[in-house]
Chain A
Amino acid sequence: MLDEIVRFENVGLRYGAGAETLSDLNFTLFPGSFYFLTGASGAGKTSLLKLLYLSQRPSRGVIRLFGEDAVTMPRERLPGFRRRIGVVFQDFRLVPHLSAFDNIALPLRVAGVREKDLETPVTEMLEWVGLGDRASARPATLSGGEQQRVAIARAVIGRPEILVADEPTGNVDPDMAIRLLQLFEALNTLGTTIVVATHDIHLLSKIPGAQMMRLEKGMLADPTGSLRFPPRSKNQQQ
């Protein structure tokens, strides 16, 4: 078991020749923890998540992921690491011509799971997100909230070690938002590290053991990372 699952050291990210979108990020994520990433629009939440789910390499600094240097890692090894990370994209990014079932099954198929072995987990996942009767529906025929649930189901179906979610409750009603957070919490209980980017401050109180990182203009509000204040730490709950 790793002591830490993610470590950022002096990480900066710059798109093109512009100013740095993210600067001097130093923090560590621990296995089995639950993190909220907050900040105003444009603070760099999505950029930080992109670094986490290996969609971008930083312009500077060191990122250690699952104990390995993700910055200098050869490109050929990245797919294997990506399969250990579940991602809920802000804009869902569902494949438009695939059904809800096929969209959810996609990570398993990419990972080479046999067809006969994915029917049950995908169906269960569809039931879990309340879309058991929409298995054959294509994204265009689903509401925003339904699409978001499909996106979440796709992200968690492969039992990732880290789940990264960008505004996962942005398009669902409050009840569904709570159900989805409960799903994340259940996954977290099973050992998955969860990172949820949100600007909805009310969500933070729903997961008592969660910790918070706040981004301001591309920098962590506390540059040392030590002041990530847990609304209520796990120790306090006990």
Chain B
Amino acid sequence: MFKFFAIPAHDRRLIPEGRLSGPMPWVIAIMIFLTVLAAAAGLAMTRAVGDVSDELSSRATVQIIEANPEIRARQAEAAADRLRAMPLVEEVRVLPPEEIEALIEPWLGTQDLANDIPLPALIDLKLARVATDGEYEALRSALAPVAPEARVEPSSGYIAPVISLVRSFQWIAFGLVGLLALATAAAVIISARSALNTHGETIAVVHLLGGTDQQISRLFQRRIALDALLGGLIGLVGGAAIIWLIGTQLRALGSGLVKSVGLDWWSWLIIAAIPILGMFLAMVTARWTVVGALKKIL
């Protein structure tokens, strides 16, 4: 596979190689830089969607809507006891009033709301599995005798539109990766054709001396693969620096969905492989272009 790197020095001199001297490595560097960013965004969103979906799909909230605070508290306790007895329910936590007030504080301020507004009692449920509609109905039926006004709402319902939006961004990011790969291939084709024109006379001579298409295309493959690898590494370093900076800023925000946005080790592995994949893409494209052009001459 790496045979083209082992071309003897004298053969390499046939097509002069100038490291970073032409535009090709820099074009590839920009392409890989953008690909790294797009891939990181896609991977981070994949992880965020996965984490949030896993977390929320097995959670539900019970709201007990009762104007009388004493009855409400009694119903909440009774509902919690009944829920704890159900095999579907893994954890039950009745939210204390202070926590409920903290939740609405950003919208309604820090006044003593509990006395002015009849806030519902909230029970946070962690289920043993992702419940079906029928199981939610069973939960509602079980609660009806002890808390007739109880509402059971799956948490995934709240976040579904956000997840859907993030998934759209995720596909856009991966679509961009695909488009950038196509643009990289196009840049390589242009570069290979330009190199073929520049070195046309040398190629013709080698051809007439009995050089095979493989011998000639290997010279171009090697040159373009090295340009792509060099440009790819520059792009990777630039892209990784930006990802690190953005990651630092996201971590500083510190809550909710944003907190889940991040890259795990296998995401970094995929990102690190992008220059290598870019190099192979460039190599295959160069070979295809050069062999195609050589076949047009006898």
Q: Which residues of A contact B (CB under 8 A)?
A: 53-57, 75-76, 78-83, 87, 93-95, 97-98, 102, 105-107, 109-111, 115, 154
Contact = CB atoms under 8 A, between A and B. Distances in A.
A115 B8 contact: yes
B259 to A, nearest CB: 58
A189 B208 CA distance: 25
Contacts of B16: 97
Contact of B206 (A57, A75, A110): A110
A80 B16 CA distance: 26
Given A55-B298, A109-B10, A83 B210 contact: yes
Nearest to B15: A97
B295 interface: yes
11 contacts: A54-B208, A55-B208, A75-B295, A78-B298, A81-B210, A87-B208, A93-B204, A98-B13, A107-B209, A111-B210, A154-B209
A223 B208 CA distance: 29
Contacts of A102: 10, 13
Contact of B298 (A56, A87, A105, A115): A56
Contacts of A106: 205-206, 209
Contacts of A55: 208, 298
B194 interface: no
Interface of B: 8, 10-11, 13-14, 16, 201-202, 204-212, 215, 295, 298
Contacts of A75: 295, 298
Nearest to A101: B10
Contacts of B8: 109, 115
A79 B211 contact: yes
A232 B208 CA distance: 33
Nearest to A84: B210
Contacts of B202: 95
Given A97-B13, A97-B16, A110 B298 contact: no
B205 A105 contact: no
Contact of A57 (B204, B205, B210, B298): B298
Contacts of B210: 79-83, 107, 110-111
Nearest to A107: B209
Contacts of A95: 14, 201-202, 205
Contact of B10 (A57, A83, A115): A115
Residue among B14, B205, B209, B298 having the largest count of chain A Cβ atoms under 10 Å: B209
